[in-house]
A and B are shown apart, each in its own frame.
Chain A
Amino acid sequence: DIQMTQSPSSLSASVGDRVSITCRSGQAIGTYLNWYQQRPGKAPRLLIYGVASLQSGVPSRFSGRGSGTDFTLTISSLQPEDFATYYCQQSYGNPRTFGQGTRVEV
């Protein structure tokens, strides 16, 4: 299995802050890296696919970058609705695997 490790596991931030979350894969995964947001009690929502492509309808304050085994999700200016848990996910290998999640809280 390709292990996906996110850091930090949680972070405290304020509205307007720039926030970055890192995801490291156990082996190179090309561009098969996606990011999701999950608000409490809700289903995950796709934010970024293929490392850096913004899903339709997602605000441009979200961005992704990376290559090889190291990837980053950045929120340029945190908004109240961005307080949630974020997951990375790889589709390079089977099984598809998710990171353990990063909780962004006040």
Chain B
Amino acid sequence: QITLKESGPALVKPTQTLTLTCSFSGFSLTTSGLAVGWIRQPPGKALEWLALIYWDDDRRYSPSLQSRVTIIKDTSENHVVLTMTDMEPDDTATYYCARYLIGAGQFDFWGQGTLVTVSS
């Protein structure tokens, strides 16, 4: 059974750095062809992809956020961590992590999401 779960603060202040952890089970991020990604969704709005980390440690970032976002993996602990610097109110969103398959580039399993509010 494949599961993913996001964890992190529910509230951050403007200019602070957000750190989110995706804990997963049922697969290994050492398996060829797999990746884990982060996607966010502001309240009432569409999905926005943020970052991907592949089994071989290759990383891809959304160009619009690349200067603020870092993704790393800990394969021994089955964790992927996303950090986002200089948080602002427009970053308020539900943040999801999801497993990614390189075949068609699909996100086939998703976490439940975690709502992060940016407010002073």
Q: Which of these binds chain A: B12-20, B22-30, B45-53, B77-85?
A: B45-53
- Which A residues lie within 8 Å of B107 (CB)? 34, 36, 44, 46, 89
For the complex, count residues of A whose C-beta is within 8 A of B. Answer: 28
Contact at B104–A50, with CB atoms within 8 Å? Answer: yes
Distance of A54 Cα from B89 Cα, bound (Å): 38
- Which A residues lie within 8 Å of B47 (CB)? 36, 44, 87, 89, 98, 101
- Which B residues lie within 8 Å of A45 (CB)? 110
A10 to chain B, nearest CB (A): 13
How many residue pairs bridge A and B at CB < 8 Å? Answer: 74
B83-104, CB < 8 A from A: 96, 98, 101, 103-104
B10 to chain A, nearest CB (A): 16
- Which A residues lie within 8 Å of B105 (CB)? 32, 34, 89-92, 96
A9 to chain B, nearest CB (A): 10
Query: Residues of A with Cβ closer than 8 Å to B?
Result: 1, 31-34, 36, 43-46, 49-51, 53, 55, 87, 89-92, 94-101
